[in-house]
Every structure is written in structure tokens, then in C-alpha cells.
Amino acid sequence: MWGQILLLIAVVVFSAFAVLAKDLIKSAISLAVASLFLGLLFFQMRAPYAGVFEISVVAGLITVLFMLVIALTKTGGDVRESKLATLGFPLFFVVFAVIDLIVMKGLLAKLPALAGPAESGTFGDVLWKQRTFDLVGQLGVILAGVFAVLALFRKRDNKDE
């Protein structure tokens, strides 16, 4: 339990740093580190496939995409974030954390739950046989994303609308 709580704290801390950092590259790397810790947490929760996916896709692929875009959009002059937002964050966060703690303690053991169906088979069975429709959906989002990017980067031969 404590190992998991440490990992959770790490994820939150690095995510907060990713949001608040001034340099975009540091921001992206911090996000990757947060994803790394989240992936390790998934491993700890006996979800190795989710952990692998989280690390290789979110910490890996998405970080690369971010780096690519940061490099491609190096415009003149940085965007200065509002000082209130960056400095005020710790205060707002602490207030939120206190509310969060109180709410969670209050809800403790008040949530009714039915036992789910017992799980049988391997992960492969669940993903490929039980949730096959999800794979069709995944194909759909991937295709939609590919076409979206193609459409957004197409060559414009005429400049008029």
C-alpha cells in the first residue's frame, strides 16, 4: 500500500511540475516521468499490460510527439504565463487537497457495490474474445486520427477559400 501511495505522490508531483514549468521541454520530460511512475504503479497493481502500454505509449510515443511539435513551433518570443496562476498553484492545490481528503473520508465505506463476475481466462482472452468490439473502435479512432492529421497537413495549392 505504501509503495503505491509513494508512486501516486510521484505521479501527482511530476504532473504538477509539467503544468507549471516555464520551459516546454522540461514540461514534456516531466510529463514523461509522471507517466513512467504511473506505469510502475500499474505494474504494482498487477496490471502489467496497462503498465507496458502506459510507459511505451504515453511516456514514449506521446512525449516524442510533444517534442516534435515543440521543435516545429519555436516561435519568436515565449508565452508568459500569468504570475498568479504559477505562484498561486500551491495554495489552490493545498485547499483542494484538504477538501479532497475530507470528501474521501466522508464517503469511505458508503459506496455499495456488487461483486463483479469472476474473471476467467487470460488477458488475451478478455481483450480479443470478450472486448472484440473495442478493437473495432480502436481501429476507428486510429483511422480517424490518421485522416485528421492528413487533412490538417494537406498541401494548399490555391490560397483563396
Partner 1 sequence: MNSAWFVFIGFAAALLFVGLYALLTMRNVIKLLIGVEVIGKSVTLVLLATGFVKNNILLAQSLVITVIVVEVSLIATALALVINIARHTKSLDVRKLAKLKG
Partner 2 sequence: MIFLYIGLPLLVAALLPLIGKVSKKVLPDILANGVILVLLILAVTSGRQLIGRGPVTQQLGILGTTVGITVAIDAFSLFMLMAIALVTLCVGLFSIDYMEHYGAKANYYALLLMMVAGMNGLVLVSDLFQVYLFLEVAAIASYALVAYGLEHDELEASFKYLMLSVIASTAILISIAILFGTTGGLGFAAVAEGLRSLDAKAVTGVCAALFIMGFGLKAALVPFHAWLPDAHPSAPAPISAILSGLLIKVSGVYALARIVFNVFGLTPALSEVLMGLGAISIVVAALLALGQTDMKRMLAYSSISQVGYVVLGLGLGTPLGIAGGLFHLFNHALGKGLLFLNSGSIQMSTGTRDLDEMGGLAKRMPVTAATNLIGSLSIAGVPPLAGFWSKLLIIMGLVQAKQGALAVIAILASVLTLWYYLIIQRKAFFGKLEARWKDVKEAPFWMTVATVILALLTIGVGVFFAAVVKGWIQPASDVLAGGLPGALASWRF
User: How far apart are alpha carbons 93 and 99 in whole angstroms?
Assistant: 10
- Closest to partner 2 by CB, 78 or 134: 134
The CA-based angle 29-32-36, given to 5 degrees, is 140
Site string for partner 1, 116-155 (x = CB under 8 A): xxxx-xxx--xx--xx--x--xx--xx-xx--xx--xx--
**124 vs 158 by CB, closer to partner 1:** 124
Q: Which of 76, 91, 155, 160 binds partner 1 (CB under 8 A)?
A: 76
Q: What residues numbered 35-74 form the site for partner 1, per CB under 8 A?
A: 35, 38, 41-42, 45-47, 49-50, 53-54, 57-58, 61-62, 65-66, 68-70, 72-73
State the minimum distance, in angstroms, from the CB of residue 61 to partner 2.
17
Phi-psi region of 61 (alpha: psi -120 to 50; beta: other; left: phi over 0): alpha
